[in-house]
Amino acid sequence: MTGLRERLAFKRPSGFGRSAAENSVLAEMRKGSDQSGHGSSPPGGQRDSTLKIAIVDESPVRAAILEDGLREAGFLQVERIAEHRNLLARIYALDPDVILIDLESPSRDMLEQMFQMSRAVKRPVAMFVDQSDRASIQAAVDAGVSAYIVGGLRKERITSILDLCISRFNAFSRLQAELDRAKDALDERKVIDRAKGVLMKAKKLSEEEAYALLRKTAMNENKKIVDIAQSVLTASELFK
């Protein structure tokens, strides 16, 4: 693996686009005839709209957020794969440069097969080869995203994609948390409404009076209104 490490550590003066010659080097590498996967690195490094990215994620919302983020950042060839069936065949057909996969997906092990030598399949290179890269691995693991790089890509470009994915994943988690809170709030409303109904019927109260009673009881007992409402519902079930 030392060859690859050296390659990943390769530094290039910034501010240069990729030349035609460099493009052909990259194309050559994408053909993947290099069985060891340790070919020489393309010296390019600008964000590359031709980079083909596959997102393997069973959560369509999160995959969409990731895809949008990648497109906004100028990555135009982004494909989503939501199904684990024939995953490898689909990936081979798509032939992506980068695969992003949710860490919570058992399908992740299927991708490991691509790292095996095989005459039919080009041998991809794992991104997390450079052991000095622990911080970014850690961040990816924490965010629940794992990236596999097919072919030889420069670390800087991968890092930018990964950073973007991590921030998108975190944004998704925040969104999910907000949705959960909103759902909880809605559920609470329903419980309180039903408890009001029980009280209105049993004690012949108006809606306002029923709510006032719940609120007063909650204050007296130092509990949340929804907890009192739940107790009312439980009790009314018992009295049925």
Binding site for other proteins (CB under 8 A): 1, 84-86, 88, 103-113, 115-118, 126, 128-129, 131, 134, 137-138, 141, 146
CA nearest neighbour of 125 among 97, 89, 94: 97
Closest separation between CB of residue 129 and other proteins, Å?
6
| Tokens read off for 28 | 């050559």
- Residue among 114 and 228 whose Cβ is closer to other proteins: 114
- Residue among 65 and 87 whose Cβ is closer to other proteins: 87
- Residue among 26 and 91 whose Cβ is closer to other proteins: 91
- Residue among 1 and 82 whose Cβ is closer to other proteins: 1
CA nearest neighbour of 77 among 56, 116, 47, 49: 49
Closest separation between CB of residue 68 and other proteins, Å?
26
Beta strands in 11-89 (DSSP E): 52-56, 77-81
DSSP 8-state class, residue 15: T
Closest separation between CB of residue 176 and other proteins, Å?
18
Closest separation between CB of residue 84 and other proteins, Å?
7
Q: What is the spatial order of strands in the sheet that 145-149 belongs to?
A: 77-81, 52-56, 98-102, 145-149, 125-126
- Whether residue 99 contacts residue 150, with contact meaning beta carbons closer than 8 Å, is answered with yes
- Residue among 136 and 228 whose Cβ is closer to other proteins: 136
How many whole angstroms separate alpha carbon 173 and alpha carbon 166? 10
Closest separation between CB of residue 31 and other proteins, Å?
21
